[in-house]
Structure 1
Amino acid sequence: MRALYTHSCSVAPDVELDGEALERLYATDRSTPRLRMNFVASVDGAVSVDGLSGGLSGPADKRAFKVLRGWCDGLVVAAGTVLAEDYGPVTLDADRRARRVAAGLAPTPTLVVVSGSLSIGPLHASLAQAPVRPIVVTRPDAPDDRRRALAEVADVLVAGEPGGGVDLAVALDALHERGLSQLLCEGGPQLFAALTAVDRVDEICLTLSPLLAGGGPGRISTGVGTAGARGLTLAHVVEDASVLLLRYCRPSLLH
């Protein structure tokens, strides 16, 4: 694994990256709230193989995945992705937990599941077995019986107006007020599009897998349209066995 380009001088380009160097490449200024998106895609734009993102992932992507999860305060995921990808509880190894505590963070990130219909049940492993009480974000008109059932295992955060969907801007502000300022979102594509529509995406960490998936699979972002394109700045390019790890940020957040 080697850096082909870095915007900062924290890591020299074209040198082999150890774990510490990779951590520095993904480091952020924690004084400013941030929402990162983390996705993997094929070179022809597919977000999945056989319906799952796992078919696109490999060792390099998994290393970046662990780094990103390791330093976030909250892990934001749509309920559909949790169910489709069969998420388990968010856990970190003992070394990572100790490093987080030494840095003044909670030992484990908080799982935040976004679900307008509350399609995920309280017995799902990602909620029932979570080491930290999760948060479920929903809309005001979500079914009361499902809300009460989920409240047994998670904090239910209602964001939006009656008759509408989940207000993601309101939800993110509420998460920040709870101390979850560094948020990592792992999808899915509809949530990505919705967050882009309200202009709350600050950073995209994209792994390009050297595969041609062919027609069929969707893009990493799909659904709600946006008012216009938004400019990002390239922070780094890392290569490993033809896999590219790309990181793009809002220019104002790049250091």
Structure 2
Amino acid sequence: MHRLWPPSPGGSPTVVDDTALERLYDYPDDLDRPWVQVNFVTSADGAVAVDGHSAGLSGPADKKVFALGRDLADVVLVGWGTARDEGYRGLKRTETRTDRRLRRGLAELPPIAVVTPRCSVPPDSPLLTDTAVPPIVITTGASAAADRAALTAAGADVVVAGGRELDPVAALAALDERGLRRVCCEGGPRLFGDLVAADLVDQLCLTVAPLLAGGGIGRITGGGPVPVPRRLALASVLSDDGFLMLRYRRGD
């Protein structure tokens, strides 16, 4: 993997080792609020999936950056549609760098926080039955009380954030109350769109795969457009085997 931006003093691409990669993607120190990083992969022509799954777009370098996002986070935030379609379950100790997390004073494993406005996660989901850390289920007051109670009985930490519609500010506040400020959001498009609309995205990690997938596949953001586009600053560009790993941070 090579770093193309920021350029090296000599102007040539710089080889990026694990230490440099960790430094590039680390969260800011001494956070006093939730800080949201969003991860997405897209084809060169903008597709967000192949055969309904993002894995068809990924490569070794992208997977490494994706895993690093989890290693450095307090919590993994994901929409229920993405969690369901991608077969999410609780993180395993073999899926994270325990030494890296402990060195940074983080819990051994981050919990999964699933956003589902209608509380659609079934109690027998692998997110609850195959996990070492209880998941957080973020829903709304419009969801059925019986569904919320069933998930609580199954071991989930159920959070109500909003009345009829999800309130992303309240959702992040609930994570903050639990000491979870390093937020790694892994989609999907509707959740990303809600975070953009609420101006809550601090960093976007976008991998562009060297593939053409054709039309008919959605964008990485769902929902409506924002009145004023959010300004981002290019923070780094990495390349590996034709893949580009772009990192944008909140602009001024």
Q: TM-score range by the shorter chain?
A: over 0.9
* Amino acid across the alignment from 1:132: V
Alignment partner, residue 36 of structure 1: 37
Judged with a 3 Å threshold, the aligned counterparts in structure 2 of structure 1 residues 142 and 21 are, in CA distance, closer, same or farther, namely same
Alignment partner, residue 64 of structure 1: 65
Alignment partner, residue 26 of structure 1: 25
* Amino acid across the alignment from 1:114: V
- Structure 1 stretches lacking a partner, 5+ long: none
Alignment partner, residue 157 of structure 1: 159
Given the alignment of the two structures, is residue 76 of structure 1 paired with residue 77 of structure 2, yes or no? yes
* Amino acid across the alignment from 1:26: Y
SS in structure 2 of the partner of residue 77 of structure 1: strand
- Structure 2 stretches lacking a partner, 5+ long: none
Aligned-residue CA RMSD (Å): 1.8
Matches within 5 A, 1:1-255: 1-6=1-6, 14-32=13-31, 33-93=34-94, 96-152=97-153, 153-161=155-163, 164-251=164-251
SS in structure 1 of the partner of residue 76 of structure 2: strand
CA deviations 1:98-118 (Å, max 9, x no partner) are 331232111111110000111
SS in structure 2 of the partner of residue 146 of structure 1: helix
SS in structure 2 of the partner of residue 55 of structure 1: helix
Deviation at 1:158, TM superposition (A): 0.4
SS in structure 2 of the partner of residue 225 of structure 1: coil
Indicate conservation of the 8 Å contact 2:79/2:191, yes or no: yes
Indicate conservation of the 8 Å contact 1:194/1:224, yes or no: no
SS in structure 1 of the partner of residue 97 of structure 2: helix
Judged with a 3 Å threshold, the aligned counterparts in structure 2 of structure 1 residues 13 and 75 are, in CA distance, closer, same or farther, namely farther
Question: Size of the alignment, in residue pairs?
Answer: 248
Distance 2:237 2:23 in 1: 13
Distance 1:92 1:249 in 2: 29
CA deviations 1:109-161 (Å, max 9, x no partner) are 11100001111112111222221111100001211221111102211000112
Judged with a 3 Å threshold, the aligned counterparts in structure 2 of structure 1 residues 135 and 8 are, in CA distance, closer, same or farther, namely farther
Indicate conservation of the 8 Å contact 2:189/2:222, yes or no: yes
* Amino acid across the alignment from 1:248: Y
Deviation at 1:182, TM superposition (A): 0.6
Distance 1:46 1:21 in 2: 30
Distance 1:181 1:90 in 2: 18
Distance 2:103 2:240 in 1: 31
Indicate conservation of the 8 Å contact 1:81/1:187, yes or no: yes
SS in structure 2 of the partner of residue 214 of structure 1: coil
Indicate conservation of the 8 Å contact 2:78/2:186, yes or no: yes
Indicate conservation of the 8 Å contact 2:71/2:96, yes or no: no
* Amino acid across the alignment from 1:22: L
> Could you tell me the TM-score, scaled by structure 2's length?
0.93
Deviation at 1:52, TM superposition (A): 1.0
Distance 1:82 1:179 in 2: 23
Judged with a 3 Å threshold, the aligned counterparts in structure 2 of structure 1 residues 8 and 200 are, in CA distance, closer, same or farther, namely farther
Structure 1 residue ranges, 4+ long, deviating more than 2 angstroms after superposition? 6-9, 91-95
Indicate conservation of the 8 Å contact 2:206/2:245, yes or no: yes
Indicate conservation of the 8 Å contact 1:30/1:182, yes or no: no
Q: Alignment identity in percent?
A: 45
SS in structure 2 of the partner of residue 63 of structure 1: helix
